[in-house]
A and B are shown apart, each in its own frame.
Chain A
């Protein structure tokens, strides 16, 4: 059995383990909720995460399409970018897939035979991790941009009300 077919067969169990790793970055009470509540509207963090991980796992097996990868990663990272995480803690979960896969290789396959496939797979995971960092940064920049824009608009209006702006009063940008 090749590594890919083995992973494909065990997809659900692997994604569950991966999800477990992600939720373990939250406090215990929160992790319990994230795992148990299956309604996507009652539990957007948990359900967005598990849906994203499943799609990302397919992508890792099939080969990384950058746009597709962004579309699956963005919702997860966008959430973690406004939670209590440092950049490393927010994005590290991508790399957490590696030990899960290595363990399967060690248990079920010959390490020597699977080496080529394993290295290729890990390269894809690394690529995703880098992409995750890009997304994290763009989310953080967005947060600061939103802060700055609200502040600018407020100041602008204060000036406008005080009659200190002579023209284009309805178009601050």
Chain B
């Protein structure tokens, strides 16, 4: 999709230094390269049995829609208004107070008013008013209503895929409107016409068929874990012995596949392996990986409720098949929102599993009583609190750390303290970013909700600005050089964002820091951290 070089006359024609002065309804959408992701591969759409699988290009005039596309959208809209009470309420109750307007990282970074959450939602509401309210039908544009046209549809598509469903805006809404749910509905409606992006559709098709987003088959998945064991053995002299698909194990472990295949998540994965090995040696901990339910992430969440449910079910079916007591989940973002907020009414309650109890400490995880799935940050914090881990935090002394609250564990399940508690116990240098950029106010990495593709790099960088701006501040003020997070998309997206905005910053998962500090029984004197970089004081040691 190479760009054509513009002619001088074309460039001169564009020499207008003023933005359009028209109202939002009269400012037609301009689909700009760098801001959108490529259209879904028809093979992937077909594999999921979703409608209108075909080759199409967002830059073309003709999106190859069925003749009755307006009717399909109208009926789809109607069905969802009847089915989802929240959607109906969110369409009706917004008073356009503007509290959310300047809270979105995409608005802040791109400066595009249609990225104000209120206006992004208004794209849907305007059609809702026209199609489903008497007021809108009578007053038309005066009442903020407009009919669905091709231009409106393109606007929907462009902006529904410029929202990472991070829910920062919802924190500020006095009515509690969850704008992420409006995006979720918008995307679900677009999927009725086959208007998904490939960065979502293909991982979903892979996950549906093979068990993970990358389409890694079981033997390759095991091979990768074995490579990590080789590396761990080289660094520590100890080789972990992970269990795979073990029937009757106490616990099933599921993490996003990004941890297994993408740096720096791979070091986090090595961290899990070392932690499990430690617990196995010292306390007889019995945990298994699955090569079938090998994906914690759920890009179905970014497609439709039905697809999200399909992918989520695989984890529970595997837990049932193996006969484990409960599930431990790795460092992932949206996986936790799916589990914490949707899983119980989609596929739960998981009555065949037991209420999770930490076998090492005896702690009952009351919050996971129904879902039976515990977050590993919580699990490790509990181990540390009970003095069950042997730790040498000085091994992380060359890392001056800050913590990025990943949107979904933070706003989707209220996990603020556990990761911080873990970091403070495995490292000695930790600094917080400014208060309005962390915890429930955290800024998204700019690439969540399936927008972590390469072709939309300008969007990702602009959306990543508010987060990077706060990172830059602690870098300059405290010398922070390591950005910790508990989300696989963060680990994939933040290194690129940092390279653009704060080039001196590295990115790490929580359990990479844990494993650096963790003293394995019988280990040799370590000279390097998990990345092969010299440990503090070991800079001159021979390789």
6 residue pairs bridging A and B, Cβ less than 8 Å apart: A26-B19, A45-B108, A78-B501, A84-B112, A86-B14, A157-B261
Contact A33/B457 with A26-B111, A45-B111, A84-B110 known, Cβ cut-off 8 Å = no
* A40 to B454 CA separation, bound complex (whole angstroms): 29
Instruction: Give B436's nearest chain A residue, CB to CB.
Output: A41
Q: Does A27 contact B (CB under 8 A)?
A: yes
User: At the interface, yes or no: A25 with Cβ under 8 Å from chain B?
Assistant: yes
Residues of B within 8 A of A67 (CB): none
* CB-based A-B contact count at 8 angstroms: 105
* Chain A residue at minimal CB-CB distance from B453: A150
Contact with B along A62-102 (1 / 0, CB 8 A): 00000000000000001100111010110010000000000
Are A83 and B110 CB-contacts (below 8 A) given A25-B19, A161-B216?
A: yes
Q: Judge whether B496 and A33 touch: CB under 8 Å.
A: no
A37 at the interface (CB under 8 A from B): yes
**CB-based nearest A residue for B22:** A27
In the complex, are the beta carbons of A33 and B102 less than 8 A apart?
yes
A83 to B466, CA, bound (A): 14
Of the candidate stretches A117-125, A129-137, A140-148, the one touching chain B is: A140-148
Closest to A36 in B: B102
Q: Specify which chain A residues have a CB less than 8 angstroms from the CB of B454 in the assembled complex.
A: 147, 150-151, 154
In the complex, A2 has a CB within 8 A of chain B: no
Residue in B111, B461, B496 whose CB lies within 8 Å of A150: B496
Q: Whose C-beta in chain A lies nearest to the C-beta of B14?
A: A86
Q: Known contacts A27-B112, A43-B102; is A143 also within 8 Å of B461 by CB?
A: yes
Scan B64-76; emit 1 where CB is below 8 A from any A CB, else 0. Answer: 0000000000000
6 residue pairs, one from A and one from B, having the closest CB atoms: A44-B469, A29-B113, A82-B461, A30-B111, A27-B19, A150-B454
A24 partner residues in chain B, CB cutoff 8 A: 18
Cβ-defined contact, B17 with A89, below 8 A: yes
- Measured CA separation A28–B461 after assembly (Å): 23
CA distance A33 to B436 in the complex (A): 17
Q: Are A146 and B457 in contact (CB under 8 A)?
A: yes
Residues of B within 8 A of A48 (CB): 469
Contact present for A161 and B220 (CB under 8 Å): yes
Q: Does A164 contact B (CB under 8 A)?
A: no
- Given contact pairs A27-B20, A44-B469, a sample of 13 additional A-B residue pairs in the complex whose CB atoms are under 8 Å apart: A25-B19, A29-B116, A44-B466, A45-B109, A45-B111, A78-B500, A79-B462, A82-B500, A84-B112, A144-B457, A147-B457, A154-B454, A161-B220
Nearest opposing residue in chain A for B492, CB measure: A150
Residue B437 at the chain A interface, CB threshold 8 Å: yes
Contacts of B101 in A (CB 8 A): 29, 33
Q: Are B465 and A79 in contact (CB under 8 A)?
A: yes
Residues facing A in B482-499 (CB within 8 A) are 496, 499
Q: Which residues of B contact A29 (CB under 8 A)?
A: 101, 113, 116
Interface range on chain A (Cβ under 8 Å from partner)? 35 or more
Min CB distance B32 to A, Å, is 7
Q: Is B434 an interface residue (CB 8 A)?
A: yes
A25 to B458, CA, bound (A): 18
With an 8 A cutoff between CB atoms, is B473 at the interface?
A: yes
- Chain B residues with CB under 8 A of A78: 500-501
> What's the Cα separation between A48 and B454 when bound, in Å?
27
Q: Which residues of A contact B11 (CB under 8 A)?
A: 86
Q: Give CA–CA (A25, B18) in the complex, Å.
A: 6
A82, A92, A161: which contacts B462 (Cβ < 8 A)?
A82
Partner of B102, one of A40, A42, A83, A92: A42
| A172 to B436 Cα, complex, angstroms | 39
Known A42-B436, A83-B110, A161-B216: A37·B102 in contact at CB below 8 Å = yes
**Min CB–CB distance A94 → chain B (angstroms):** 13
Tell yes or no: B470 within 8 A of A by CB.
yes
Q: Is the CB of B112 within 8 A of A41?
A: no
B93 CB-CB contact with A under 8 Å: no
B21 touches A83 (CB 8 A): no
Contacts of A42 in B (CB 8 A): 102, 108, 436
Is B378 in the interface zone, CB < 8 Å from A? no
